[in-house]
Amino acid sequence: MVLAIVATGLFSACQKDEGTQPPQYDTSMAESRTVMVYMAAENSMSDYVSSDMREMLDGMASKVFYPGDRIVVYVDDNTLPRIYLIDNTTNVTSPANLQPVKTYSEDVNSASAEQLGAFVSYVKTNDKYKADSYVLVMWSHGTGWIPSDYSGDVSSQSLRRSFGVDNGYNYTSGNKIDEGYKMNIPDMARALEEQGGVDVILFDACFMQTVEVAYELRHAAAHIISSPAEIPGLGADYSTMVPAMFQKDDYATKMLEAYYNRYCNDPACGIVISSVNTDALDSFAAYVKQVVALHRDDLLNADYTHVLDYLLYGVGRWGTDNPDCYDMQGVMKNVMSEEEFAVWQEKVSQVITCMHTNFWYSGRRGGWKTYQIEDPSQCCGVSMFIPLNKYATNSARFNDTYLDMEWGKDVWGIEN
């Protein structure tokens, strides 16, 4: 199982050479690990499949992995879904030369929790892939906790989605937009729990590091690594991420560092990335419930103009189909006294390890450009929904659907 991560607060700098070399292994900790990569790519992300597969092959090429270490990759792009195996016996360098261990006879909906559960079951019940620990990479589009409302009529659907988009067999991007099936987070949580969960979930997708998502998945994974904002189109650099995944000592932290180090010195693309220790979420939710009870009126009526917001409501391509993505530390700093905020920082340090640059890159806030984190004390790298009045009357009615999330029920106790 994953070793507990000690929260280290916020870091705005990194060493240029970090993440460029495979980590050194503690050979006394030779437990086996299987990394499952779930690429729901039958959408506009299909063009990135080959390059990320090549990076995975590059990452395994150093041959420093134990015999029980492997990557099992599920790919559903614009051809039939298939599964690949990459381990220390793999001797190809090009994805084109990597032969699938399984090819599906017909298309499937990879944005369904049932299909995700079937893939995880396939891996964990196969004697060839069983391991002492498991990592799951969820690779696709994402928009956090916001529920999918897809009903089958793609012409009438908004761009809202929780995780993944499946546009149907032989989808090609062109000028199309991603309006296919999506996966709701409560369904994802149930599917993963039924399969015994995993040690770490890495969301290589936008907007997935919300406290609502983490709380929903707290029984499905020990640690969740993701971004509360948009991520660059290239996502993780798997040539350095893969060696980090197979580090035997504190590998969740190494994964976080590998993701961050790819972008910390990139002048064009920034990243906000954090890791949530889900074991601490129940006690944290109880604390935040008390905060909400004390500051409810303040939270619902505060001026959020200067609060760190990863996606502005009503601005950009998605318009009012997505709510604001406020960093939850920025929210709390906005309404708390200095003494209360000091307690908050101590509580949140038990839940979150966050490393970040001072900006991120977004095309959903009125144009592609960078956005600065002007006040680092507002950033804990996890967003939180606030059920403001402006969401109660819009077409999406976010305040109503918020009760579908366990965090909404347990912390806010919103009444319809």
Q: Are 67 and 169 in contact (CB under 8 A)?
A: no
Checking if the pLDDT of 1 tops 60, the result is no
Buried b / exposed e along 316-350 (16+ C-beta atoms within 10 A): bebeebbbbbbbbbbbbbbbbeeeebeebeebbbe
pLDDT at position 393:
74
Checking if the pLDDT of 30 tops 90, the result is no
Question: Are 271 and 285 contained in the same domain?
Answer: no
Question: Are 158 and 294 contained in the same domain?
Answer: no
More confident of the two residues 160 and 91: 91
Residue 167 Cα distances to 77, 207, 228, 317, 381, angstroms: 10, 20, 24, 19, 30
Query: For residue 219, what pLDDT band results from cuts at 50, 70 and 90?
Result: very high
Q: Are 200 and 223 in contact (CB under 8 A)?
A: yes
Question: Are 267 and 249 contained in the same domain?
Answer: yes
Question: For residues 182, 403, 212 and 231, what is the CA-based torsion angle, rounded to 10 degrees?
Answer: 40
Question: Are 260 and 285 contained in the same domain?
Answer: no
Type of residue at 2: V
pLDDT at position 171:
63
Domain boundary among 258, 277, 296: 277
Question: Are 337 and 229 contained in the same domain?
Answer: no
Structure tokens at 117: 């559960």
Question: Are 306 and 199 contained in the same domain?
Answer: no
pLDDT at position 63:
72
More confident of the two residues 154 and 284: 284
Instruction: Say how many domains are in the chain.
Output: 2
Mean pLDDT value across residues 154-170 = 62
pLDDT in tens, 351-402: 998 888 878 877 766 666 788 888 999 999 999 999 998 888 766 678 888 8
pLDDT at position 270:
87
pLDDT in tens, 319-329: 666 788 999 99
> Taking phi first (over 0 means left), then psi (-120 to 50 degrees means alpha), and beta for anything else, what does residue 8 get?
alpha
Checking if the pLDDT of 340 tops 60, the result is yes
Nearest Cα to Cα of residue 225 among 244, 248, 360, 111: 244
Q: For the chain, what is the mean pLDDT?
A: 85
Mean pLDDT value across residues 26-44 = 80
Domain boundary among 234, 262, 277: 277
More confident of the two residues 279 and 313: 279
In a domain, residue 66? The reply is: yes
Of the ranges 12-21, 104-113, 205-214, 392-401, the best mean pLDDT one: 205-214
Checking if the pLDDT of 297 tops 50, the result is yes
Question: Are 74 and 208 contained in the same domain?
Answer: yes
Question: Are 141 and 215 contained in the same domain?
Answer: yes
Domain boundary among 211, 243, 277: 277
Mean pLDDT value across residues 232-259 = 93
Question: Are 211 and 332 contained in the same domain?
Answer: no
What is the rounded CA–CA span in Å between residue 285 and residue 321? 27
Instruction: Give the domain range for residue 151.
Output: 29-277
pLDDT at position 269:
84
Query: For residue 170, what pLDDT band results from cuts at 50, 70 and 90?
Result: low
pLDDT in tens, 255-286: 999 999 999 888 878 899 999 999 999 999 99
Mean pLDDT value across residues 402-409 = 88
Mean pLDDT value across residues 194-207 = 96
pLDDT at position 24:
46
Question: Are 215 and 100 contained in the same domain?
Answer: yes
